[in-house]
Amino acid sequence: MSDDDDNPARPAAGTPLCPLDDLADPGSRGFMYRASDQLFLGFIVRRGEAVTGFIDHCPHAGMPLAMLPDRYLTRDGDFILCTSHGALFRPGDGVCVGGPCVGKALTAWPVSVDAGVVTAG
Ligand code: FES
């Protein structure tokens, strides 16, 4: 699996992902796209009207973050949690603030909200 910009499975800019109203506040959702044998895994996080997106690849040991579908946030919704070894990331910028990779960051997957629909950037 590749998570770089050249991944052919990465959805094109402008690809609709989901209506904003489908996301809890705070809430998160994962996405998987496939192109031939390539996979793109990403997720989005909503907090209020702000939505951020990240590649689903932990900077600690490279695992996808969520063990349960769409469960990327801590129970209080304040942080993104990697369930493998407990890394905590800020939802706004993906920087790790707790756990085994403090100071490293998730790779951004730019998204935007257009007319109430979250779209890939
Ligand atoms: S792989 Fe995410 S904390 Fe270890």
Distances (CA, A) of 71 to 5, 36, 97, 112: 25, 27, 19, 21
From atom 1 of ligand 1, which residue's Cα is the shortest distance away? 61
Q: Is residue 1 one of the residues assigned to a domain?
A: no
Domain count for the chain? 1
Atom of ligand 1 nearest to the CA of 99: 3
Is there a domain that residue 114 lies in? yes
Nearest-10 Cα torsion for 24, 39, 99, 25:
-10
Looking at the domain assignment, is residue 2 inside a domain?
A: no
Contacts of 118 (CB under 8 A, 6+ apart): 16, 17, 18, 19, 20, 23, 44, 51, 111, 112
The DSSP 8-state label assigned to residue 25 in this structure reads S
> How many angstroms is it from 65 CA to the middle of ligand 1?
7
**Has residue 75 been placed in a domain?**
yes
Q: What is the pLDDT of residue 2?
A: 46
The closest alpha carbon to 17, from 82, 77, 70, 79, belongs to 70
Could you give the 3-state DSSP secondary structure of residue 10? coil
What residue ranges line ligand 1, CB within 6 angstroms?
Answer: 58, 60-61, 63, 82, 84-87, 99-100
**31-88 pLDDT per residue, tens:** 999 999 999 999 999 999 999 999 999 999 999 999 999 999 999 999 999 999 999 9
Q: Is 101 part of a structural domain of the chain?
A: yes
- Any idea what the CATH number is for the domain that residue 88 is in? 2.102.10.10
Is position 56 within any domain?
yes
Range of the domain at 50: 16-120
For the stretch 98-111, pLDDT in tens is 999 999 999 999 99
Ligand 1 centroid – CA 7 distance (Å): 22
Q: How far is the CA of 95 from the centre of ligand 1 (A)?
A: 13
Stated pTM of the model: 0.95
4 lies in a domain?
A: no
**Confidence band, pLDDT 50/70/90 cuts, at residue 5:** confident
Cis status of the peptide bond prior to 26, with omega within 30 of 0: yes
Considering the domain boundaries, does residue 10 fall inside one? no
Share of residues in the chain with pLDDT > 90 (%) = 93
